[in-house]
Amino acid sequence: MPLWSGGWYRFARRLDSPNFGPRPEPPPTDEKGGHTSGRAAVDLIVVHSISLPPGKYGGHQVQQLFTNQLDWEQHPYYQSIKGLQVSAHFYIERTGALWQMVSCDHRAWHAGASSHQGRDNCNDFSVGIELEGLEGELFEGPQYETLAVLCAALGQAYGIEHIAGHEHIAPGRKSDPGAGFDWTGFQRQLGWPDRCFP
């Protein structure tokens, strides 16, 4: 069986989010049929962290948020995000369990106002991966293992050129995944060159 079907990853548990849209049309091609920009339609992975309520792990509140089913009255913190409509392509639990909410062929709503290497609106050309965790805290070994395997599969399917944290594409506005994320160890695990990392 193929690893991918319509942008859905075979080894992820599928949970469809309504919060997505089409990606922009690819750049125009030259007379030889090549992309004039030399860039892939999707070439960036953005790593995030999330937990609901913040610092609480093991529930299904993140999945509920991404599918517009979160009970806003369940916790006082939720009043500060009430009505928020967001999504990510993938969510990795502390155990390493992998969920997919949006096809990678579509645009998920994860980055917000953002910029990477001179290009704004990172949602247009990125895949968003949320790690269950809190910015500044450590992440679990199984999460890194799942993330590395997923990024390798994304690299093969989409020609990924870069991986960045939310903090790198929205500095001053976002600080996740934060200091607790081991970029050096993750790069070693994935085996991609320095130019791919922040």
pTM for this prediction: 0.93
| CB-based burial, 73-100: b 16+ in 10 Å, e otherwise | eeeeebeeeeeeebbbbbbbbeebebbb
Report how far residue 92's alpha carbon sits from residue 98's, in angstroms, rounded to the nearest whole number.
5
111: containing domain: 4-23+38-193
On whether residue 31 sits in a domain, the answer given is no
On whether residue 172 sits in a domain, the answer given is yes
Sign of CA dihedral 16, 21, 26, 27: negative
Mean predicted lDDT score pLDDT of the chain? 93
135: CATH: 3.40.80.10
On whether residue 182 sits in a domain, the answer given is yes
On whether residue 19 sits in a domain, the answer given is yes
Catalytic residue among 25, 31, 73, 130: 130
Report how far residue 149's alpha carbon sits from residue 92's, in angstroms, rounded to the nearest whole number.
12
130 is catalytic: yes
Segment 150-171 mean pLDDT: 97
How many domains does the structure of the chain reveal?
1
- Would you place residue 86 in the very low, low, confident or very high pLDDT band (cuts 50, 70, 90)? very high
On whether residue 155 sits in a domain, the answer given is yes
On whether residue 32 sits in a domain, the answer given is no
